[in-house]
Chains A and B, each alone.
Chain A
Amino acid sequence: MKMSRILALAALLAAGCANVAPYQRGYLARESMALDPNPGMAKALEKTYSAKEAASGGASVGGGGCGCN
């Protein structure tokens, strides 16, 4: 009983997945599929933000504060 419930749940979860066949990966290569569609602009914005807010490293880089990086 418990096993069939797990299976039913697995079936439900699997239904939410879309298989992308190897030959369909052109969809994933689209610009709009990128995590960050405009990495150059994002980098510039982040630099401005960290300069204005004195928050160097606040976004993702480790360190900051000691002036050593």
Chain B
Amino acid sequence: MRRLAAALALTLSQSVLAVEAGGPVPDVSGPRIDAPSQSLALSSLRGQVVYVDFWASWCAPCRVSFPLLDALYRENGSRGFVVVGVNKDMSLEDAQKFLKKVPVTFPLVGDAKDAAAKAFDVKTMPSGYLVDRKGVVRKVHRGFTAETGAAIREEVDALLKEPS
């Protein structure tokens, strides 16, 4: 009886534990959608402050977040800050259409098989994970408003000042 209940509970909860602040960043990689035949692994960005942003063309707040994140990347890129946009569109065409309207300069990767989204256990779109130079997730932002943008700006500035 108890076993049955446990089995039922297990089937219903498919997800792994969500990535939260304080934990290590999962090592995910994916093909670049902005630069054909290149790929990007998060482990290759160790030593930099990274903002991993899960986005999609159907995600309305992403229209707000993209210009703000891009500005932040342009300003702080030379100090060792990088934004990685993980795309969650069903078709690449949708993503490209969105990018024509909201162009960005930071690297974008695809995640067609949901490996990255599952590794992070993304709960909301958009979800952003701010990772310090040592590869530790320091802040998780679920959802996005203009205030989120201002908060990220301060957090990035603080993390960039930390020694690597």
Contacts and interface: CB of A to CB of B under 8 A. Distances in A.
Interface of A: 3-4, 7-8, 10-11, 14-15, 19, 21-27, 29-30
Interface of B: 1, 4-5, 7-8, 11-12, 14, 54, 56-58, 88-90, 94, 114, 117, 122-125
Tell me what chain B mostly uses at the interface: helix, strand, loop, or mixed.
Answer: loop
A26 B122 contact: no
Contact of A22 (B1, B4, B89, B122): B122
Contacts, number: 47
Nearest to A30: B90
Tell me what chain A mostly uses at the interface: helix, strand, loop, or mixed.
Answer: helix
Contacts of B11: 11, 14-15
B125 A7 contact: no
B4 A23 contact: no
A21 B7 CA distance: 21
Contacts of B12: 14
Given A7-B5, A11-B11, A23 B54 contact: yes
A12 B124 CA distance: 28
Contact of B122 (A11, A21, A29): A21
A16 to B, nearest CB: 12
A4 B7 CA distance: 12
Given A7-B8, A10-B8, A14-B8, A23 B117 contact: yes
A29 B57 CA distance: 10
11 contacts: A8-B4, A14-B11, A14-B12, A15-B11, A22-B124, A23-B114, A23-B122, A24-B114, A25-B58, A25-B125, A30-B90
Contacts of A21: 114, 117, 122
Contacts of A29: 58
B56 A23 contact: yes
